[in-house]
Structure 1
Amino acid sequence: MASSLSNTMILCGIVSIGISMSAGVIANTSTRYQRDDLSETDQVRVSSVTQPTKDFSKAEKFEQKSAGAATSKKRVNKKSFSHSSGNLSFEGERDFKLGNSLFKKIWIASPSSTKASDGLGPLFNARSCQRCHLQDGRGHPPESNQDIATSMFLRLSVPPRTPEEIIAIETGTELRIAEPTYGGQLQDQAVTGLPAEGKMRISYQEKTVHLNGGETASLRAPSYRVEELAYGALDSEVMLSPRIAPPMIGLGLIEAIHEQDILALADPNDHDEDGISGKPSMVFDHDHREKILGRFGWKASNSSIHIQSANAFAGDIGLSTPDVPVPWGDCTINQPSCRSQPHGDQKHLGDGEAPKKVLDLVVFYSKNLAVPARRNVNDAEVLEGKELFYTSGCIGCHQPKYVTRRNAGQKELSFQLIWPYSDLLLHDMGEGLADNRPVGDASGREWRTAPLWGIGLTETVNGHTYFLHDGRARNLLEAILWHGGEAQPSRDTVVDMAPTERRSLLKFLESL
């Protein structure tokens, strides 16, 4: 498909149910939503294309190109998540490579002779972005409690208690209240001479699920604790939530989806009575003093790749940026020995340990990591699995396709037909997956629908098949069987399928 869809089919829907917002409250209205970047003619043309297909006899037009013209067509191998957008310009390739070098950059503690790499920590989870996002792909739990959990960590928070904290949570100016001593996440590494905060420990309990056809599956239910605490006890009301690093592919295209296309899918009160109650995560924009749509992170708590990257620099590596100008990272006032450590702020290089130019190049790199082309889209078993995925109700959350904004800010990401298989909304996933830790609009049972593109290449790229927010699922079937809440009916349908049907469903997912 050409970089512009103007000569092909264009996608975006005409939305019959509008959504009005006031302070993050979503209410259904009869207002007809229209995208502000498309003509009325375009909207009519694309309405039919956005509808889920009912023809499973063959692949849909352009279906192989999951990311439109930005799709990577390179050979499938361990580097399949590390290629640039297929339509990137020469100048874009230059910036992508520069960003890649910074994404892989190993940061070191201050003071050092290598000033451009100065500023690690003092507390951290990884020395580089790449060490969390392995091969730009999916992280995993540690194989044993003796291993450093580099691509996985624990989020920490406590309930709001003071009037100021309660107001901050209610108004959305804060998404959560950090644990008073250990901050927003547990850092299991530290610079020389400073103790790490502690060690995450995981234990699993197996439970058997019986499937139609005499088959069984085993699910491992994790529990989490923290040991070797170096700065005193955790707050008695601390809430822990594990996170593995998600894949980096297609982020720029997700950011380029028009807000109204996502909001149009929201039905928080289930007015259509289909059992699906997706709601948007509205996060506070401190620059403009208003709430905007969040779409990144396991609970959709970040509104842009820029903000997500700045927060990761601060929390994961301990690097300050112009957006998060704290050189001690996640060290709290109750960790004075941490805050007193040397830092790598050097004004002659720019504000922050990772100045604007560094952050901008990492953001550009993150925006342009390409989604690989689909495989076997016309395979009979894949097509059967696709039909089962659609008819089982999975697309109630895993929305197949969109067209990105015509004015996305980068031409290579603009006006592309993409197939992320996500509505990017929050859904109640049931008690089994609950972390019981609210973040902004997301309750302790709600998670953002994870995009599925590229999921079938996880083992090829990362050498494992651990899925869900904490990697508890050891394969795709286990990931499905953990679905509860709004997804319970679809999950039960999979349980009731004939074994050959389940294999076809998994074959479809492996083709994504």
Structure 2
Amino acid sequence: MKRLFFCFSIVVLVSCQKDNGGGDYVPVPENPERFYAGGKTTTFLATSDAFATPAENLTQEEFDKHMDGDLQFEQTFVTAPAPVNSGLGSIFNNSACIACHPRDGRAGFPKDLNARGGLLLRTSLAGATSKGAPIAVPGFGTQIQNHAVHGYEAEASYSVRFEESTETLADGTKVSLRKPIFALKDTYKEFPAEAMLSARLATPVFGLGLLEAIPETDLLASQDIDDADGDGISGKANLVWDPSLKKEVVGRFGWKANVGTVLVQSAGAYHDDMGITSYVFPDEHCEGQENCQDNSTGSPEVSDEILNTVAFYCRTLAVPAPRDIDDPTVLKGEQLFSQIDCAKCHTPKQRSGPADVAALSNQNFYPYTDLLLHDMGESMADGRPDFLADGNEWRTRPLWGIGLTKLINGHTEFLHDGRARNITEAILWHGGEAQVSKEKFKALPKTDRDALLAFLNSL
């Protein structure tokens, strides 16, 4: 009954919104071609809950499972032998999924770099393992844990300084840019000088099930590794080892597309961020780390049921509908988005194939990503390879929901390390394969730039 009332309320309020032109729900546009950003999973909420809403087309049983996953996503883990949510690692980055993904959205650049939040630092040595993964740093692993429980010492604290630069647009407008340079301090042991560091900010978790359901054949077919068409854009899929399936798969998630499924992404967050074992990652993340205690009892610290339910929750979050898509300025911005070739990487439309969850199967949806790796130039490079991704390459970020970031998460900080303080800065950091598009953006008159930004903020 709760589910039926929820759906009925959405229908009524969307209809009312179309009549009165105001409120918390998005009005149905005259041209609905891309209004259903998540296909039948789309939510029409335009409030601070827009990223945290279940897909509209779930069955009652699926809705109940989703809500169970929501509860688990918000749980805070503590040290053993607590009777509930036990197993927090002796060293860790955070203690709850929701703490990194506030309101299921995007973490901002932290005011306190070492407070628990959505920022972490990856690390590795040059080379790759036999499965193509980054090589762990002895004593530090592949992620720097900057927190520890009582009686243990964190691996390090984070520090940052900024390099400032300026971009000048064709009309003389000057835009200040900042590049964060991260380092470690107070390391529990000497950190190798040759080890690489790369910052990561947590990203939104809605719509993941649809991205996961795009057929691998479609992603591989969209590659242009050698730039055969000569347009300067040569996207490639990352091929990564899946520890659950025990085989190589196409990477879809993470800033370098280094994870292939929502399940492994979820299990990896429990393991690397919180030090919690599961059936996917049954061993503690203490190997070679001298200040980390292996508390493994042979049993996973998060149950199979909870892990699977959390993964289901992330798969079945709704995608928010775009807003104002019939507005003339937004329509002009949409045209400019294609004209300056942004759409060549931020592919507007995708289609899912068959999925374990029927609600996600065979849906047309609009994520504005090709999920491929692209060379973004030296200014954006972190110099750290990850499977097939080299130090200059990043996965194309989905743009859906980007215009709701300020409302839901209270900031407009973008890119992998939060360097961009707004969408304009994010565009101006594009280089490499996107350099030509960036220069075209810089050459636009202000009215056209404003239209392009209006379009992006409508998503």
TM normalised by structure 2 equals 0.91
| SS at 1:438 equivalent | coil
Shift of 1:379: 0.4
Aligned to 1:96: 66
Aligned position for 2:292: 338
Aligned match for 2:40, one of 69, 79, 84: 69
Query: Is 1:254 aligned with 2:211?
Result: yes
Shift of residue 174, structure 1, vs aligned partner: 3.8
The answer to whether structure 1 residue 414 and structure 2 residue 361 are counterparts is: yes
Q: CA deviation at 1:431?
A: 0.3
3-state SS of the aligned residue for 2:66? helix
Letter aligned with residue 288 of structure 2: I
CA distance in 1, matches of 2:141, 2:241: 20
Counterpart-to-counterpart distance in 2, 1:86 and 1:293: 28
> Which residue number in structure 1 is paired with residue 257 of structure 2?
300
Q: Could you tell me which of 123, 129, 140 is aligned with 1:156?
A: 123
2:135 corresponding residue in structure 1: 177
Identify the range of structure 1 (195-204 vs 354-363) with the bigger mean alpha-carbon deviation.
Answer: 195-204
Q: 3-state DSSP class of the match of 1:442?
A: coil
Distance between the aligned counterparts of 1:393 and 1:254, measured in 2? 22
CA 1:77 to 1:352, structure 2 compared with 1: closer, same or farther past 3 Å? same
Indicate which of 372, 378, 391 corresponds to 1:444. Answer: 391
What secondary structure sits across from 1:388 in the alignment? Answer: helix
The correspondence of residues 26-175 of structure 1 with structure 2, limited to 5 A, is 61-74=32-45, 76-112=46-82, 114=83, 116-145=84-113, 147-148=114-115, 150-160=117-127, 168-169=129-130, 173-175=131-133
For 1:200, which of 158, 174, 195 is the aligned residue?
158
Q: 1:79 deviation in Å?
A: 1.5
Question: Is contact 2:41-2:318 (8 Å) kept?
Answer: yes
Question: 2:40 and 2:398 mapped to 1: Cα distance?
Answer: 19
Output the amino acid matched with 1:211.
L
The equivalent position to 2:334 in structure 1, one of 368, 382, 386, is: 386
Report how far residue 205 of structure 1 moved: 2.1
The Cα of 1:262 is off from its aligned counterpart by 1.4
Once the two structures are superposed, what CA deviation does each residue of 1:151-194 show, in whole Å capped at 9, x if it has no partner?
0000010113xxxxx6x35xxx1410011111111111111111
What is the CA-CA distance between 1:234 and the residue it aligns to? Answer: 0.9
Paired amino acid for 1:313: Y
Partner Cα separation in structure 2 for residue 237 and residue 392 of structure 1:
39
Map of 1:370 onto structure 2: 318
* Paired amino acid for 2:287: T
Q: Distance in 1 between matches of 2:241 and 2:30?
A: 41
Moved more, 419-428 or 282-291: 282-291
Contact map agreement 2:92 2:274 (CA 8 A) in 1: yes
Residue 277 of structure 2 is matched in structure 1 by 320
Structure 2 vs 1, CA of residues 427 and 411 (structure 1 numbering), >3 Å: closer, same or farther? Answer: same
Equivalent residue for 2:200, pick from 243, 246, 249: 243
Aligned residue for 2:134, secondary structure, equals coil
1:206-221 map, 5 Å: 206-221=164-179
Aligned to 2:159, the other structure's residue is in SS state: strand
Q: Distance in 1 between matches of 2:244 and 2:118?
A: 31
Question: Percent of aligned pairs with the same residue?
Answer: 41
Amino acid at match of 1:208: T
Unaligned runs of 5+ in 2: 1-28
Q: Is the 8 A contact 1:251 1:367 kept in 2?
A: yes
Deviation at 1:216, TM superposition (A): 1.4
1:286 CA drift (Å): 4.7
Task: Report the RMSD for the aligned CA atoms in angstroms.
Answer: 1.5
Q: Give the letter aligned to residue 377 of structure 2.
A: G
Distance 1:338 1:176 in 2: 21
Aligned partner letter, 1:203: R
Residues 258-277 of structure 1 mapped to structure 2, 5 A cutoff: 258-277=215-234
The answer as to whether partners of 1:280 and 1:426 remain within 8 angstroms in 2 is yes
Query: Residues of 2 paired with 1:78 and 1:365: CA distance?
Result: 18
Give SS of 1:310's match. Answer: helix
Establish whether residue 431 from structure 1 lines up as the match of residue 374 from structure 2: no
The aligned amino acid for 1:127 is S
Contact 1:201 1:224 in 2 (8 A): yes
For 1:69, give the aligned amino acid.
Answer: K
Residues 241, 435 of structure 1: 8 Å contact kept? yes
TM-score (norm 1): 0.82
Paired amino acid for 1:391: Q
Aligned CA distance change for structure 1 residues 186 and 78 (closer, same or farther; 3 Å)? same
Cα offset for 1:62? 3.0
Matched ranges for 1:473-488 at <5 A: 473-488=420-435
Q: Do 2:141 and 2:289's aligned partners in 1 also have CA atoms closer than 8 Å?
A: no
- C-alpha separation in 1, matches of 2:30 and 2:136: 48
- The whole-number CA distance in structure 2 between the counterparts of 1:457 and 1:439 is 30
CA contact (8 A) 1:205 1:221 kept: yes
> SS where residue 363 of structure 1 aligns?
helix
Paired amino acid for 1:191: V
**Unaligned residue ranges in structure 1 (runs of 5+):** 1-57, 161-165
